[in-house]
Structure 1
Amino acid sequence: MSIRVMSSEFSKVIFMTLLLVILFSGMAFAQQDQAAANAVAIDTVWTLIAAFLVFFMQAGFAMVEAGFTRAKNAGNIIMKNMMDFASGSLVFWAVGFAFMFGSGNSFIGTTGYFLQDSFANLGLDIPIAAFFIFQTVFAATAATIVSGAMAERTNFSGYLAYSVVITAFIYPVVGHWIWGGGWLAEMGIIDFAGSTVVHSVGGWAALAGAIVLGPRIGKYNEDGSANALPGHNLLMAALGVFILWFGWFGFNPGSTVAGTDLSIASIAVTTNLAAAAGAVMAMIVSWIKYGKADVSMTLNGALAGLVGITAGTANVGNLSAVIIGAIAGMIVIYSVEFFDRLQIDDPVGAVSVHGVCGAFGTLAVGIFATDGGLLFGGGISLFITQLIGVVTVFFWAFGLGFVLFKAIDALIGLRVTEEDEIEGLDYSEHGAESYPDFMVNIKAKN
């Protein structure tokens, strides 16, 4: 064989080898591109499913609040919950989301009104629309928390004014501080799914509203003792708690905004364990204190455990989740009694469940976090950061909430008349009755 023929054959081999390399490289790149596209699709679908679960929590809040209050106000409770989400969705789209996640400074975002900007600063792989709808349902949750604490005596138009302001400004600013790259985020605060951002903001605003409103007629005696004003339907309240517990599996695991993040499984476990421990501990404590296993306290104990674990659900182990939930379930009982002694009337225990247990859960991260927690060799620095966040958010949400409710009271009127309160807000505010076939002598029984 001549040298020319050998050279020709060798060239063919080289050519075929290069062709195969190029072909398989292209296939590999194509597979990588497809894998990346699939991951984005999975993350997007997961975020949307989680958002839908959290949206369903609005039904849970409505059932809890209606069940824990009297029949003559059930329709009013439903209207407030409905409008929290409806009006809140619009104002959060217009300005709230921009204040929370837009580029700006360490205090507030200043770009992205009406979702007009790219929000490249967030570094998201999923579409901004998916992230926006997930954050919208969170904003609605913060607003709805206040409804229960102000139930049975609040002017509907005054409540609507409050709902718009908290969703447009009070809540988004705190969200920017912690989730939007603001000053607390720079300090290293951990509030994974919102024990403080969502629950404490709503809880402290609820405290302000309850103080400005004053207690319901007949709630407290001249000697300071409290009278029970039982809710009309424990079954409804229990259904609401189960719906909220279910929705929390979107609230906490969904905060990864990534279905490809396998930590969603462990987050679901810590969420469930804390809720279970909160319910069990509340049942035990109420049984010892009152001689009976109290239904309403047990229901609130489950919610307290859920609120308590929300900050650290991705950062603590299973045993720590049980401890956090159990402590929250105990705290909520003593907190409800504390506010009753102060004659702060909170018909559903919203301040105790969301404000107090939200603060506790945020602080608990500084103790129980596997990376940086006091009990795991991290020292005191994380706890101090968490404490700064809790205290700052209290002054922000309670302070602005108090000023807001005072302004609404002066300009619109925050509380209904005594006659309307006795008659019930369903009729006086909405011209309807939730139970028209169930005749109640309201004046005799209320």
Structure 2
Amino acid sequence: MTIKRISQLALAASLIAVPQLGLAQEAEAPTVVPTDSVFIFNSLLFLIGGFLVFWMAAGFAMLEAGLVRGKNATMQLTKNISLFSLAAIFYYLIGYNLMYPLGDWAVDGVLSGLFGPGVLEAVGITREAADDYGYASTGSDFFFQLMFCATTASIVSGTVAERIKLWPFLIFVIVLTAIIYPLQASWSWGGGFLSDMGFSDFAGSTIVHSVGGWAALTGAIILGPRIGKYSKDGKVNPIPGSNLALATLGTFILWLGWFGFNGGSQLAMGSVGDVADVSRIFSNTNTAAAGGAVAALILTQVLYKKPDLTMTLNGALAGLVSITAEPLTPSLGAATLIGAVGGVIVVFTVPLLDRLKIDDVVGAIPVHLFAGIWGTIAVVFTNGNANIGTQILSILIVGAFVVVTSAIVWFVIKAISGLRVDEETEINGLDMAELGMEAYPEFSKV
């Protein structure tokens, strides 16, 4: 033990032993946090959490570009920058007010009566004119919630990769981010009927992740598998990604961004208790990811005699999705187990989809849909206020809504412009045919 540490302990002991200094009495006195500080720190949490979740967009782009073949990497990068930008615009134009109604509900608890662009506070706002001076700025709330909306669209992108046309996909993104996602999210986070039922989904295992998963599953079924993925005799032909280093980088970026995803969903940083809760959420989020990765690593070793990197990457992501529905109440041990179950789910559901001939290029359906369902159910194991019946019913309601609405949109787009590229384009790669450029052009002499 160092001299510095000994002196620190001696000082602490002297303070405890000398109550006449008034320090003990002062520590017991209640502290009232100024309203200005609450407003500032809550807004700061939204902003920090928001730009961390924004960084997840880079994670999705890198993960998908690494898991598709080189001839389709530029298309995935184009889709990711485009979908995020479209989500930002259409969530502003329609989605934000549809999700968080500022007026009366047209259908109580189901549909907002207010449509139109989101409006922020004026420049140089004063406390008297702030929309919610006692809580946080509207701008910080809008920024944070937008990132969740964009994440939902990113989930769909990887599943339908390597065979979907660019513009039909982007049209679907517009409908998803402007209407489908905000409407179902309003039922829980906007004070709608699922919230009244007691549905508990802290940061969105169902509201965000399974919604993206349901939309992706519907799209994958309607679109069909890639050419050569499944033989007529039922054999599954693996199609390796082009850059596993890039996919691994994307996973770590997503892992980092998830601290904002879950930590920011505490929605408050204006008290000692709130900050302590945020730190607990960070720790549980991290260990759940670790549990998912290790479970997938060990299970693939046991089942296939060799560990599988892509399964391990998706195992970490499944652990993150699993803990998202309730990252606050579990202990570190419970959070690790919840994440580990998510990793196991990935290892078993990836081949299940192949048996069903549902081609999910990056494994987003096992990660975001199946692990999202598990995470939402797992809430009841650590949160005494959650009810298993309500959790399952809410999952089914959201799932049915997203599947039906997504299918309608996919089929309408298919009828009008078609969804899938032609066979020659798919074989040669979407990069050159659709975009006229390659992600990895060969070096040539000038």
Q: TM-score range by the shorter chain?
A: 0.7 to 0.9
Residue 249 (structure 1) aligned with residue 252 (structure 2): no
Give structure 2 stretches of 5+ with no counterpart.
1-30, 122-129
Counterpart among 198, 207, 210 of residue 200 in structure 1? 210
Q: Over residues 148-205 of structure 1, what are the superposed CA-to-partner deviations in whole Å (9 max), with x where a residue is unaligned?
A: 0000000111001100000011101111011110110001111000000100000010
CA distance in 1 between partners of 2:120 and 2:196 (Å): 23
What residue is the counterpart of 2:200 in the other structure? 190
Distance 2:306 2:368 in 1: 25
Report deviation, 1:266.
0.5
Partner residue in 1 for 2:330: 316
Percent identity over the alignment is: 45
Separation in 1 of the partners of 2:131 and 2:306? Answer: 54
Higher helix share: 1
Which amino acid counterpart does residue 369 of structure 1 have in structure 2?
Answer: T
Aligned to 1:56: 55
Does the 8 A contact of 1:47 with 1:259 survive in 2? no
Give the distance between the partners of 1:408 and 1:240, measured in 2 at CA.
30
* Matches of 2:388 and 2:192, distance apart in 1: 19
Counterpart mapping for 1:385-404 below 5 A: 385-404=390-409
The match for 2:26 is none
Letter in 1 for 2:196: E
For residue 438 of structure 1, report the CA deviation from its aligned partner.
6.1
Structure 2 partner of 1:13: none
State which of 342, 350, 353 in structure 2 corresponds to 1:336.
Answer: 350
How big is the shift at 1:136? 0.5
- Alpha-carbon offset, residue 372 of structure 1: 3.1
After superposition, the C-alpha distances for 1:340-360 in whole angstroms (9 at most, x for unaligned) are 000000010111100111011
Gaps of 5+ in 1: 1-30, 374-381, 440-446
Partner of 1:26: none
- Deviation per CA, 1:374-411: give whole Å up to 9, x if none: xxxxxxxx010000111111111122112211111111
CA displacement at 1:123 relative to structure 2? 9.3
User: Who is 2:168 aligned against?
Assistant: 158
Structure 1 equivalent of residue 430 of structure 2: 425
**Could you tell me which residue of structure 2 aligns to residue 371 of structure 1?**
384
Q: Answer yes or no: is the 8 Å Cα contact 1:101–1:122 preserved in 2.
A: no
Q: Which residue of 1 aligns with 2:96?
A: 97
Larger Rg: 1
Shift in Å, 1:130: 0.6
Contact kept, 8 Å, 1:84 with 1:163, in 2: the verdict is yes
* Paired letter, 2:117: F
Quick check: 1:357 aligned with 2:398?
no
Which residue in the other structure is 2:149 paired with? 139
Q: 1:157 to 1:288 in 2, by over 3 A?
A: same
Q: Is the 8 A contact 1:157 1:412 kept in 2?
A: no
Distance 1:269 1:438 in 2: 45
Q: 1:438 to 1:350 in 2, by over 3 A?
A: farther
The runs of at least 4 consecutive aligned structure 1 residues that moved more than 6 Å come to 120-124
Contact 1:111 1:117 in 2 (8 A): no
Post-superposition shift, 1:369?
2.2
Structure 1 pair 438–248 and aligned structure 2 pair: CA distance change class (3 A): farther
Q: What are the within-5 Å matches in structure 2 for residues 9-20 of structure 1?
A: none
Displacement of 1:116: 4.0
Counterpart secondary structure, 1:137: helix
Q: In structure 1, give the amino acid aligned to 2:182.
A: P
Q: CA RMSD in A?
A: 1.8
- CA separation of 1:122 and 1:315: change in aligned 2, threshold 3 A: farther
CA distance in 2, matches of 1:67, 1:387: 35
C-alpha distance in 1 between matches for 2:373 and 2:131: 29
Residue type matched to 1:340 in 2?
Answer: D
**Structure 1 length-normalised TM:** 0.86
1:292 positional shift: 0.3
| CA distance 1:121–1:364, change in 2 (3 Å) | farther
| Structure 2: distance between partners of 1:238 and 1:146 | 19
Corresponding position: 1:233 with 2:232 = no
Query: Could you tell me how far 1:257 is from its partner in structure 2?
Result: 2.3
Q: Counterparts of 1:337 and 1:116 in 2: how far apart (Å)?
A: 46
- Contact 2:84–2:150, Cα closer than 8 Å, also in 1: yes
Hey, what does 2:13 align to over in structure 1? none
- TM-superposed CA distance for 1:273, in Å, is 1.1
Instruction: Find the partner of 1:115 among 115, 118, 122.
Output: 118
Q: Distance in 2 between matches of 1:251 and 1:48?
A: 11
> Is structure 2 residue 106 aligned with structure 1 residue 106?
no
**Which stretch shows the higher mean deviation, 168-177 or 298-307?**
168-177
8 A contact 1:106–1:183 mirrored in 2:
yes
1:20 matched residue in structure 2:
none
Moved more, 306-315 or 240-249: 306-315
Partner of 1:410: 415
Query: What is the CA–CA distance in structure 2 between the aligned matches of 1:53 and 1:243, rounded to whole Å?
Result: 9
Structure-2-length-normalised TM-score: 0.86
Tell me the secondary structure at the aligned position of residue 293 of structure 1. coil
The Cα of 1:108 is off from its aligned counterpart by: 2.2
Partner of 1:303: 317
How far 1:110 sits from its partner (Å)?
2.5
Q: 1:46 deviation in Å? A: 1.8
